[in-house]
Amino acid sequence: AAQQAGDELGYSVFVVGGFVRDLLLKVPTQDLDLVIEGDGHAFARVLAQRFPEGQLILHEQFGTARLEFPDGSHLDVARSRREDYASPGALPQVEESRLRDDMFRRDFTINAMAIAINSTRSGELVDYYGGLRDLKQGEIRFLHNLSFIEDPTRILRAIRFAGRYGFRLAKETRDGVDTALSTGVLRKLSNERFTEELMHMLRELRFGVMGESLLQMGVLKEWFESELAWDFTHPVLNKEVPPKRKWLICLRKMDLSQFERVQEKLRLSKELRGLTQKFFEVMTGLSVLRSSDKISLEDLDHYLEGLPKVILEVLMLDERFHDSLKRYHEATEGIKQKVDGMTLLQWGIKEGPEIGRILKSIRSAWLEGEIHSEEDEQKFVAE
């Protein structure tokens, strides 16, 4: 469809960026980026006619357009950037130099390739900077020395792509990271941007590998301005498990001040922030309990009742809490408490603190094994 639209309007059309990289690597990819030589909006409108299920969004300011599909994927259209307006009759060399400039503004050679899709040159790979070579060598290479100074998020992107594909950073690129970090380049980044990049990593399969690189290259130390007790070694961090679980796992060795530092320097989503807070409260609570002689089930209940499953799963990884959690699990498994606030109201007990007290004592009787069945429960309440 893009070929037809391009041919029809007389525009050169290229697929660019991540799509080309993944196509050459033969790995699945979702989003499609097109760069055209011509009026981006006109092109996008023609294209949109062919995809009635897609929703067309035009950005006036940048002259870019996006088609969004019901499955969540999208197609972006951009004009190869130059400040002047596209002249329909531009010489091919001029067009090519625009594409070259566009590619040069990208982050890494493997992300700076294009494939022509007009019928006259369909499938032709445009690779000005050695992207194909680097794909074969398994290297992430920046396009120029100032790349990381220009945009420090590229440091995290480099680590992410390397981790995802099992690549390494090319020598100069790796040196470039060191230089950029040593000049304090991360200070240019807002908490939002840094968090966003970190969250991109968290959603990747090999988050553990990426985390190790972040540590090794000193990115985390630089960002948090101290060495926190990150732990990226747990094998689950490189498996397909929910991001929030990975998140708690890598934090689990930190102490209170370190947790606070993390919360301070990141703009986590409300959910992740709450979960992190809760996780830490429970860990602290359990550690304090552990130092007392005997932990009662009621004490455990105070911290563990109604806790999100992901927190329990991560706590289970910690040997210190194993026994308590197991004991608690066994005790709560058999609880079939039927009486609730409603029941008590129906039985004529007045609304107020009394209700809460009774419910609490019922639960603790279940926990302590004084109640084993519904009948026991009824009797207990009657008494």
Residues that bind ligand ATP (CB under 6 A): 17-18, 31, 33, 106-107, 111-112, 151, 153-154, 157
* Other CB atoms within 10 A of residue 375 CB: 9
17 versus 208: smaller Cβ distance to ligand ATP: 17
211 versus 328: smaller Cβ distance to ligand ATP: 211
User: In the complex, what is the shortest distance from the CB of residue 113 to ligand ATP, in angstroms, rounded to a whole number?
Assistant: 9
54 versus 131: smaller Cβ distance to ligand ATP: 131
User: In the complex, what is the shortest distance from the CB of residue 73 to ligand ATP, in angstroms, rounded to a whole number?
Assistant: 11
147 versus 276: smaller Cβ distance to ligand ATP: 147
- The phi-psi region of residue 10 (left if phi > 0; otherwise alpha if psi is between -120 and 50; otherwise beta) is left
Residue with the closest Cβ to ligand ATP? 18
User: In the complex, what is the shortest distance from the CB of residue 33 to ligand ATP, in angstroms, rounded to a whole number?
Assistant: 6
- Enter the tokens of residue 145: 């020395």
User: In the complex, what is the shortest distance from the CB of residue 34 to ligand ATP, in angstroms, rounded to a whole number?
Assistant: 12
As a whole number of angstroms, the distance between CA 341 and CA 338 comes to 10
User: In the complex, what is the shortest distance from the CB of residue 31 to ligand ATP, in angstroms, rounded to a whole number?
Assistant: 6
Asked whether the beta carbons of 48 and 54 are under 8 A apart, the reply is yes
57 versus 331: smaller Cβ distance to ligand ATP: 57
As a whole number of angstroms, the distance between CA 129 and CA 110 comes to 9
User: In the complex, what is the shortest distance from the CB of residue 23 to ligand ATP, in angstroms, rounded to a whole number?
Assistant: 12
111 versus 324: smaller Cβ distance to ligand ATP: 111
Asked whether the beta carbons of 33 and 80 are under 8 A apart, the reply is no
209 versus 344: smaller Cβ distance to ligand ATP: 209
User: In the complex, what is the shortest distance from the CB of residue 197 to ligand ATP, in angstroms, rounded to a whole number?
Assistant: 9
Amino acid at 33: D
As a whole number of angstroms, the distance between CA 276 and CA 281 comes to 9
